[in-house]
Amino acid sequence: MSLAKPKKQTLNLSFSALLFWLGIFSIIVFFLAPILWQILTSVKVNEDISAIPNVYLPNKITAEHYTELFNRRPFLTYIFNSALVASISTILCLVFGAPAAYVLTRMNLPGEKLILTGVLIITLFPYVLLFLGLLEIVKLVGLGNNYLALIIPYTAINLPLTILVMRSFFQQLPRDLEDAAKMDGYKTLGMLINILLPMTLPALATTGILTFIFAWNEYIFALTFITEEAKKTIPVATAQLGGASLFDIPYGPIAAATVLGTLPLIILVLIFQRQIVQGLTAGAVKG
């Protein structure tokens, strides 16, 4: 009788472990299947892409779709445009967002709660609803076909999120550290740059990556504000890829452009993955 209970417990544990790993495998397949499909489509020949029923594993691998991107369109220019706009808007968000977050954390401004409420509301506000107003401003100021037409809106849209994330990190830093820095002769700006910001690197990495991804993938503003071919970004250029005829959809080049457009983001996340995890989990557990 005493031996039956351990066996039953072992079976229950084995079954639970099986369900656990089966769930993990299902989640991985669910998220990776579309990515794998795009990669396979980008190296398939056109016959396999248009075949019915679908050819899941290519019979022949080709790099034709990738070379076609650079031969037909200035794809390197599109990559440069996306990188430029995303990098500058990310830097501006961090440059303006970090000091603003520190001021809202430590300076006890009058109406601080009202300001934070406004920042939170702006964060939750759908940026697409700003489209028509921004379009009129761009036309009035004459920023059409100018990188600033994308950099300024991207910075303004992501700045509230940067402020909120950075503020949560500044709240966790002990005031004794700042008092000691002031005793050593540091001014507020010097203390922020040399002492506090290095300690909030996970927050900087997290908000920077989120801002960069948004600016890299944004489509509506980039489609409307930039019509000059030499200044288009990757999402717009990918959506405008055309086939040999009006009814021909170039699935292969589109898949190749999607893979090339996603690869820099994957590399960036892999480089800063530790900081991103720390930034996303900070404050989740106290003590």
Q: Which class is domain 74-281?
A: mainly alpha
| Whole-structure pTM value | 0.81
- Return d(Cα 69, Cα 64) in angstroms, integer: 9
d(CA 264, CA 255): 15
Q: What is the pLDDT of residue 91?
A: 94
Q: What is the pLDDT of residue 221?
A: 92
Helix/strand/coil for 50: coil
Q: Kindly tell me the sign of the dihedral angle through the C-alpha atoms of 167, 173, 179, 180.
A: negative
SS3 169: helix
Report DSSP letters for 140-157, one per residue: HHT-TTSTHHHHHHHHHH
Provide the β-strand partners of residue 268. none
* Axis crossing angle, helix 273-281 with helix 251-271, rounded to the nearest 10: 70
Q: What are phi and psi of 285, to 5 degrees?
A: -125, 130
Residues paired with 61 in a beta bridge: 44
Under DSSP, is residue 61 helix (H, G, I), strand (E, B) or coil? strand
- Residue 287's pLDDT is 39
Predicted pLDDT of residue 127: 81
100 is written with which tokens?
A: 């603003």
3-state secondary structure of 44: strand
C-alpha span between 85 and 215 (Å, rounded): 7
Question: In this structure, which amino acid lies at residue 17?
Answer: A
pLDDT value at position 7?
55
Q: What pLDDT score was predicted for residue 222? A: 92
Q: What distance in Å separates the CA atoms of residue 214 and residue 155, rounded to the nearest whole number?
A: 10
**Which pLDDT belongs to residue 285?**
44
Distance CA 75, CA 113 (A): 46
Domain ranges of the chain: 29-62, 74-281
CA–CA dist 234, 84 (Å, integer): 12
Query: Could you read off the pLDDT tens digit of each residue along the chain, which spans 287 residues?
Result: 444 555 555 555 577 778 888 888 888 888 888 888 888 888 888 887 777 777 778 778 888 888 888 887 888 899 999 999 999 999 999 999 999 988 888 887 787 788 888 888 888 888 888 888 888 888 888 888 899 999 999 999 999 988 888 888 888 888 888 778 888 788 878 888 888 888 888 888 888 898 999 999 999 999 999 989 889 999 998 888 865 555 567 888 888 888 888 888 888 888 887 777 766 665 444 43
| Residue 116: how many other CB atoms lie within 10 Å | 16
Res 281: pLDDT = 63
